Structure 1
Amino acid sequence: MVSVKCKNAAALAALSVLVAACGGGGSDDGPAPVIATQPMNATVLSDGTTMFTVVATGAGLGYQWQKNGVAIAGATSASYQTPAVTSADSGAKYTVVVTNSSGSVTSSAAQLTLQLSANQQAFENLILSPAAGSYYLHWNLNYAGGQTSGVNYAYSDYGLMSASPLTNGPQTNAQSAARNLTTTLALPAPSSPTRVLKGGAVLVVGASSKVTYVSSDVRVDSLAVDNTTVAYSEVRSNYETVPLTGLVSSAPADFAHFHNSFFSNANILNATATYAAGSSYLKFAQTNKGDRYNVFDCTTATTGAAVTPCRTGMTLTAAMTAGIVSNSDGTTYHLADGAVRTVDGVSVWVATSPRPVSATLSSTVQYRIYFELGGNVYTGALIKDGTLLGGGYYVSNPTGTTAVERLTFLPFDIRMNKAAHDSLLAAMKI
């Protein structure tokens, strides 16, 4: 601090020189920020995260990241890590404003690009337009010998998706109408639909599903008949595309096992038929997402939400204390054989031990359930979250005395492209 008494104009002028020489009258914090390294573009899978970083020089720096020109709350460091990204983030541009007391500078924009995983690319190669669709066979054909119309059948349907979930958000996939693969067997009558206990009520599952991408996998939400409510979900992974060439009857083992009777019964396929060019199938695994409570009729078969109960006018505790016989499982279930839990306000008894494979005819692990709804007791099966879902079975030991001895259960699912489907259709002899 310099204190000077000024007597005249000359003295005042001298004081001005002195103050300027000592740096008085203001402060200098150095130059404005300079960006040495700009944020880099990033490519990321759906549901993943990424980090943007800037390197700047200067004293007392502050940072504010922006997404598409809008400040991101709390993003005030030299680096910014995004939350899990979705289709809405596709093409987003991230910038950062670097400031100090001498000024500010805005970085160049770094763009976020969503990327398909190998699984998702294989899925889209089959189902995404302009591809012709993802084909699935439904059949009940004898392992050997002839077939009976009204009992045996073989038909197909397919799914086709118009836009990618990667950048367009969840996509609805509805299965096509059934196409009969035979000229001698009638299409089957509609069977009881899949029904689940969800939100405190029985939901009938429809033919539509909603597809989204999660990390490197494909999530499929099966919808109720209202085409809005998610009935249950699964995650599909481990996709493998396999070409089909040569004789139709000489298909790879996985494909032949999945469509067992087509290949075991010499009366079904023409032995000299060949696969059309470009024929292939897609093999993948399916994992249950979230606990799924399937609902079954206890007696008479129904087709709606009003399934038939096992007990009427009885509480769950009373019914399970007395015991309920399950003919399919070959056992009588009592209260002590499981535990009661509350699911969306509904009392549900869940067995401790899984149902026998002889009852489910699947590698999917299931647990018998009974639940109380509207004063009645109903039955079904629980598939727990994370369970690997089975994809059918094939006859591996025709001389086995029981179904379990005769069958091998498959832990994968299969879809085929149109060329493969049409090759099988052309090879059909029945």
Structure 2
Amino acid sequence: MQERFEYLLRILTDPKRLKLRLFIEGNVIGVLTGLTIAMFRYLLELSEKNLPRWYHYLGEHQAYIPLWFAALLLIGYIIHRMLKADGMISGSGIPQIKGILLGRMDMHWARVLVLKFTGAVMGIGAGMSLGREGPSVQLGACLGQGLGRLTHRSYEENHYLLTAGSGAGLAAAFNAPLAGAIFCLEELTKDFSPYVLMGAIAATVTATTVTQFFFGMEPVFHMGELPVAATGNVYLTLILLGAFVGFLGLGFNRMLVVSLDGYAKSPLKAWQKPMIPLAAAGVLGFCLPEVLGGGSPLVDALVEHEYVLGFLLLLFAGKFFFTMLCFGSGVPGGIFLPMLVLGALGGALFAKLAVACGLLAPQWTVNCIVFGMAAYFSAVVKSPVTGAILIMEMTGSFEHMLSLMLVSMTAFLVAEWAGSEPVYDMLLNRSLLIMDKARDYIRGSR
């Protein structure tokens, strides 16, 4: 028995068997990530269901409103303490992963795992307009890095495992295994390496299998039956939709910079910054609750209800500026899901205008909502293949692959024409610049 075990160990540690080892390790990472993200999703979905009920209760029992705002401020202070303990949990987490893969950053995987999980649940659960996908990617990366370091893998293999964990996190967050794998290749490494692919595919498929055990195989967004038309018959309309939503997406990166700069230059103390968006969430919970949280219920509501143009504009503006207010504060949370919600709202706006102008039949409105998500993602992240596949998996719209690709590429070209930088590259470059300035200041003061 011992001889067989030693023989198996020699096979797995043989450098020539790296792909086999990555496949096995990817499955281990997938199981760990799937279980972690399942708990993460459960807590956030629990909050998503109960937060509207809580605000309804507060509306009827107004004596408790001051206590609720005190609780929100307390949550803000706790998040500040977490950020002070480890700055790597700030924001989305995806730029940090890219920084690690470039060799410019590092993280204490166990500490980040605990603090990112807790901080994101508290912030998003309290109503901040942030997504679960960025934290999910970083949580998966922590587990991948942890496995690599505990088993004393090489520097290169550690990066493969971290990348596989990142893809598994995205896949588990959205029931999107293929998008998770493509995300690793197109966005994180920008390298279609067979070694990256081997670990990523194993991890994303396994992580999605685990989360489907808890949440079922239903897509994240519930769009119902979407009418299917030959792409050639609506070619011009799809290009117009991609250009319209792509144009809307141009303001996202620019306002993110404005928000981050605004917080950085403000006279607010560090402990006060997380309290600003949480206090705003408390106010919006009474006057515009649709913009709270990641926004999955809002996308479903766009399908179920026909909102007037004015209210759609209000929802878009409210979600846009509240997302900027939340993300700029540096609290743990992603922009992935709010981005998709803004794309859905942009698609709904386009459909409303196109129907009014006689360019579109009303039954194609839901299609515009779906395609708008892919277009907005492509304009902001500039990863059109990931965007198209992600929306296809999140909505179950497998018959619309050509249309999704067309609107995604159109929006991508709009962003290229405008000279827009990919959002995660922009955030990474900003973080690296701040780090370099801090190092130069420390050297100069010695």
Which structure dedicates a bigger proportion of its chain to helix? 2
Which structure dedicates a bigger proportion of its chain to strand? 1
Smaller-chain TM-score bracket:
under 0.3
Larger relative contact order (Cα-Cα within 8 Å, sequence gap ≥ 6): 2
- Per the normalisation by structure 1, the TM-score is 0.23
- Per the normalisation by structure 2, the TM-score is 0.22
